[in-house]
Structure 1
Amino acid sequence: MTPNPTANTFESRLGGITVTGRAHSLSAWFVLALRLTIGFAFLYSGVDKVLNGFAAGGYLNNVAATNGNPLAGLFAWMGSTPWFVDIVNVAVPYGEVAIGLGIMVGLMTRLAAFFGASMMLLFYFGNWDMAHGFINSDFMYMLVFLAVAAFGAGRILGLDTIVERYELGGQPLVEKYPALSYVLG
């Protein structure tokens, strides 16, 4: 088998700058490993919170005030607003379960990765720590979610491939509804 020199080439243009890359043929396996790892981490964390209880009030009230967080006032408001705490007490554990499941099985992967990255951004500010600079584990998790979305990781042994090919009126679903490409993949 002769390798195709453009098969693993990708290119993006942003703000007048074009970047081009060439992925190794094993890259798909590493993207799959990223997807499964971050999916399992979120699923496990969410299931643990669902089974053992989760209370966001203390975290929201205390964490940001003790670490020089630029969003300390916002976190204090969130922690002192009962209806908001009630929403977070449900949204975090069940959101982690839904995100983890979606990522692991590769279903609505980009949507799940978007919400995972959004959640990690909030955790990044909540766990604000500049002891080692701007990069911490929450920031890295956010980047993993963004990479999973960018690489369309749900198409690698995931259910998104099946959903995208599903025909509706003789036409593949994604061709009929192109906006789905922002959710699937």
Structure 2
Amino acid sequence: MTQTTAGTTDANVFESRLGGVTVRGQAHSLSAWFVLALRLMMGYAFLSSGVDKVLSGSFSAGGYLANVASTNGNPLEGMFAWMANTPWFLDFVNVAVPWGETLIGLALLLGVVTRFAAFWGAFMMLLFYFGNWSVGHGYVNGDFAYMLTFLAVAAFGAGRILGVDAWLEEAEFVRRNGWLRYLLG
């Protein structure tokens, strides 16, 4: 919340300084609904995708990791080949992807540990972005847009909007351990 020049408080004003540059904006009164919609949309998308993989019981990232990067000029082709050919890492990915998607989706739908969940969702989308590398139509694709959506959910504290995080941030334990607010919101 910032003070306006007229001396009134304006909750819809936001401002950030990065690298000596200050940006300032004013959100529309409906912005909270759109931030909530982004959180719920990404939560549903990830929960649905994760639950499908968990319930199938046969998810394997091996074929994807071994083949996708070598066919599309991917700058991280060597990293994807290493992932596909390292048994312990592939075992980890085969559990982390379906359960990660499920837990990220559930956390976003409930609005609990939202920033933490959105960070990992953005990280997964970054890996999918490079895995699905295609710049024939530019560097921005659906995976990149989803990554930015996760980052927006985190930046706007979407878990505070009709989410469990709003309640958790009022808890005495969180108040005494302020660093926890970086996971919530």
TM range (shorter): over 0.9
One-letter amino acid matched to 1:18: T
Aligned residue pairs, count: 177
Show CA shifts across 1:95-118 (max 9, x none): 000000001100000000000000
2: distance between equivalents of 1:103 and 1:24? 23
2: distance between equivalents of 1:49 and 1:128? 22
Identity in percent: 68
2: distance between equivalents of 1:19 and 1:82? 47
2: distance between equivalents of 1:63 and 1:5? 52
One-letter amino acid matched to 1:183: L
TM-score by length of 2: 0.93
RMSD value, Cα: 1.0
Q: What does residue range 42-121 of structure 1 map to in structure 2 within 5 Å?
A: 42-52=46-56, 53-121=58-126
Which residues of structure 2 form unaligned runs of 5+?
A: 1-7
Show CA shifts across 1:5-33 (max 9, x none): 72200000000000000000000000000
2: distance between equivalents of 1:33 and 1:77? 37
One-letter amino acid matched to 1:150: A
2: distance between equivalents of 1:73 and 1:7? 48
Equivalent residue of 2:133, what SS? coil
Show CA shifts across 1:110-145 (max 9, x none): 000000000000000000001110001000000000
Show CA shifts across 1:126-177 (max 9, x none): 000011100010000000000000000000000001111122xxxxx33211
Corresponding residue number in structure 2 for 1:143: 148
1: distance between equivalents of 2:128 and 2:11? 37
Equivalent residue of 1:165, what SS? coil
Match status 1:179 vs 2:183: no
Match status 1:125 vs 2:125: no
TM-score by length of 1: 0.93
Which residues of structure 1 form unaligned runs of 5+?
A: 168-172
One-letter amino acid matched to 2:122: A
1: distance between equivalents of 2:161 and 2:83? 38
2: distance between equivalents of 1:44 and 1:10? 33
2: distance between equivalents of 1:174 and 1:14? 27
